[in-house]
Amino acid sequence: MNILDVIAHRRDKVPHLRDELSFLANGAANGSIPDYQLSAWLMAAYLNPLSEEETAWLTLAMAESGERIDLTGLPKPWVDKHSTGGVGDKTTIALLPVLAACGLTVVKMSGRGLGITGGTVDKLASIPGFRLDLTPDEMKAQAGRIGLALTGQSPNLAPADKAFYALRDVTATISSIPLIVSSILSKKIAGGAEVILIDVKCGAGAFMRTRQDAEELATWLRKIGTLCGLQVTAELSDMDQPLGAAVGNALEVREAFEVLRGGIMPMPSQRFLELVRRIAVEALTVSGKLAEKEALVAVEQSLMTGKALAKAREWVQAQGGDPRVVDEPNRLPHAPVVSTVSYEGPTGSVQRVDAAEIGQLVVDMGGGRKAKSDEIDPSVGVVLDVSVGMQVDSGQQVATIHAATKAMADGAAERILKALTVF
Ligand code: URA
């Protein structure tokens, strides 16, 4: 097979044969096709999008381009969850212990932050000692022991995606739905799960800004997932305002464990807990483990009885972290400057909390990367006391800032107030 023919077919809208896509994925994974030819194909595929059938073939070829985690022998159902990414999205950290406490086997590969959307790997890395480099064998053994395991992106799983993704990032070809879908699902297939729950974030603080784009992505994820033999659910969730109260790595870990403790939560955290509940119920029902009513009860019980919290401790310990962080958040990295922000103005209700601005603020404070090689400061960030719909009065505290310096905290306070729309 000749790569020039494969590129020309895409350019001229000649449908690809399955073999052509396998050739392409293998060539990307083993480096036998140079970047300039992969880039040419990617741009042709961006301009002339792949059909559903071609996308399914490419997904499978990318999944087969490296190692796969074989979960045979572990109790079914095998579940994975994916978020398309958003500001303050720490759902995985609270959800996985709930799912495992309810009897599911969960294996998950997570990524680093991308732009203003933080990554689960960066958040969990703020737990002292927590390992994010588990091998496929370690993943399987741990999932067998405690019901859940999470690792960072392994170079061995779906290596074709790694090559494509790096090129898409620098050739303006990221936002192609077939390419996004094959990228997400190939990694899920390589990770071994059969039931995949995808949280498609939609709004100012997400990759998909409009409802229409998010709906289209969700539809494609379901269709291609089915064509690849997976059970995929893809539901939209709002990302116009940050998810939950905390934005910033260690602060988000703290909030994720706090919601597992149950009890009365402040409104922003309550919204986050609702999403965790919704996805957990979905996981239990879609996988066939429980009917909806039973699933609701099981999820609630895992929270009320402390089973989910106990699972979180087991998880942190199993991956080499200090399990005391689950109950004693002051063991997580903390920032030297902590200050509060108060609203000044007429009484009104919060109409908007600009997720993009809050996400960018935390990146600018050092909580995210601007260049690939940047080090993250896990301790910095913002904890919001308000969310859309809440009433605020003049003088009321609306946020707490955790910063490295006083100057940084002062600048952050101004930006937080600008990010709020109240009337
Ligand atoms: N997440 C992925 O894993 N791949 C994409 O292409 C976009 C988001």
**What does the mean pLDDT of the chain come to?**
95
Paired tokens of 360: 């960018």
Element (H, E) at 67: none
Ligand 1 site, residue 33, Cβ cutoff 6 A: no
The active-site residue, picked from 183, 237, 302, 379, is 183
Atom of ligand 1 nearest to the CA of 180: 6
Sheet bearing 348-353, strands edge to edge? 391-392, 348-353, 420-422
pLDDT for the residue 370 = 81
Cis ω on the peptide bond leading into residue 378 (within 30° of 0)? no
The active-site residue, picked from 16, 82, 112, 277, is 82
82: annotated active-site residue: yes
65: annotated active-site residue: no
- The mean pLDDT value for 14-21 works out to 98
> Is-contact 92 280, C-beta < 8 A?
no
183: annotated active-site residue: yes
User: What does the alpha-carbon distance between residue 49 and residue 34 come to, in Å, rounded to a whole number?
Assistant: 22
Q: Does the structure show a pLDDT above 90 at 313? A: yes
Contacts of 171 (CB under 8 A, 6+ apart): 39, 42, 43
Quote the distance between the C-alpha of residue 255 and its chain's center.
16
Q: Where are the domains of the chain?
A: 3-63, 78-329, 334-422
Our mutation pick for probing the ligand 1 site, out of 165, 168, 187, counting the most ligand atoms within 8 A of Cβ, is 165
Query: Considering only CA atoms, which residue is closest to atom 3 of ligand 1?
Result: 184
pLDDT for the residue 174 = 84
Ligand 1 site, residue 180, Cβ cutoff 6 A: yes
Q: What distance in angstroms lies between residue 184's CA and the mean position of ligand 1's atoms? A: 5
Q: What angle do CA 210, 215, 221 make, to 5 degrees?
A: 130
Report domain 3-63's class: mainly alpha
Same fold, 3-63 and 78-329: no
pLDDT for the residue 76 = 93
User: What does the alpha-carbon distance between residue 209 and residue 140 come to, in Å, rounded to a whole number?
Assistant: 36
Q: What distance in angstroms lies between residue 408's CA and the mean position of ligand 1's atoms? A: 32
User: In percent, how much of the chain has pLDDT > 70?
Assistant: 100
> What confidence tens digit (pLDDT) does each residue in 354-393 have?
999 999 999 999 999 887 778 999 999 999 999 999 999 9
pLDDT for the residue 113 = 78
User: In percent, how much of the chain has pLDDT > 90?
Assistant: 89
Ligand 1 site, residue 184, Cβ cutoff 6 A: yes
- The mean pLDDT value for 103-117 works out to 87
> Is-contact 203 209, C-beta < 8 A?
yes
Low-confidence winner among 15-24, 101-110, 114-123, 286-295 (lowest mean pLDDT):
114-123
Contacts of 140 (CB under 8 A, 6+ apart): 69, 70, 71, 74, 107, 149, 192
User: What does the alpha-carbon distance between residue 418 and residue 423 come to, in Å, rounded to a whole number?
Assistant: 13
> What confidence tens digit (pLDDT) does each residue in 245-264 have?
999 999 999 999 999 998 78
Q: Which of 340, 362, 353 lies closest to 271, judged by CA? A: 353
Q: What distance in angstroms lies between residue 108's CA and the mean position of ligand 1's atoms? A: 15
Ligand 1 site, residue 183, Cβ cutoff 6 A: yes
pLDDT for the residue 175 = 84
Q: Which of 391, 395, 401 lies closest to 248, judged by CA? A: 401
- The mean pLDDT value for 393-401 works out to 98
pLDDT for the residue 359 = 95
pLDDT for the residue 186 = 96
Q: Does the structure show a pLDDT above 80 at 404? A: yes
Q: Does the structure show a pLDDT above 80 at 58? A: yes
- The mean pLDDT value for 209-215 works out to 95
Q: Which of 32, 53, 56, 28 lies closest to 42, judged by CA? A: 28
Report domain 78-329's class: alpha beta
CA atoms within 13 A on the CB side of 87: 31
Q: Which of 157, 199, 177 lies closest to 67, judged by CA? A: 157
Report domain 334-422's class: alpha beta
